[in-house]
């Protein structure tokens, strides 16, 4: 594989961000839903954990989706089911990924 083909494989058409590392809009649940609908099946995107906490939890950001945040976890699970995606909580990266299901 030539070097230029290797770069094309790693980066999307803009040459800036790997296709499976796309930032999604999280201004509201509606904008997140719209971003997810545009995401190709099988790919994933992410939002900052602060935005995930703001959208789905009433607990402080540091406690969002924790042991006692059943309401936040339920809201996130309902949203994920409605928009056929799987959330992936990554606290060390400060991100929540969403993988688009079929």
Q: Mean pLDDT, to the nearest integer, of 71-80?
A: 97
pLDDT tens sequence across 7-53: 444 444 444 445 457 899 999 999 999 999 999 998 999 999 999 99
Q: What is the number of structural domains in the chain? A: 1
- Specify if 33 maps to a domain: yes
- Specify if 15 maps to a domain: no
- Specify if 88 maps to a domain: yes
Region of residue 45 (phi > 0: left; psi between -120 and 50: alpha; otherwise: beta): beta
Domain holding 47, by residue range, is 21-100
pLDDT at 14: 45
Inter-residue contact 89 to 96 (CB < 8 Å): yes
- Specify if 60 maps to a domain: yes
């Amino acid at each position: 594989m030539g070097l230029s083909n290797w770069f094309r494989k790693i980066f999307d058409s803009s040459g800036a961000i790997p296709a499976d590392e796309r930032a999604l809009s999280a201004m509201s649940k509606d904008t997140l839903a719209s971003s997810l609908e545009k995401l190709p099946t099988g790919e994933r995107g992410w939002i900052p954990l602060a935005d995930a906490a703001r959208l789905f939890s009433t607990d402080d950001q540091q406690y969002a989706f924790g042991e006692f945040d059943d309401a936040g976890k339920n809201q996130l699970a309902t949203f994920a089911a409605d928009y056929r995606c799987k959330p992936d909580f990554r606290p060390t990266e400060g991100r929540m990924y969403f993988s688009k299901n079929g």
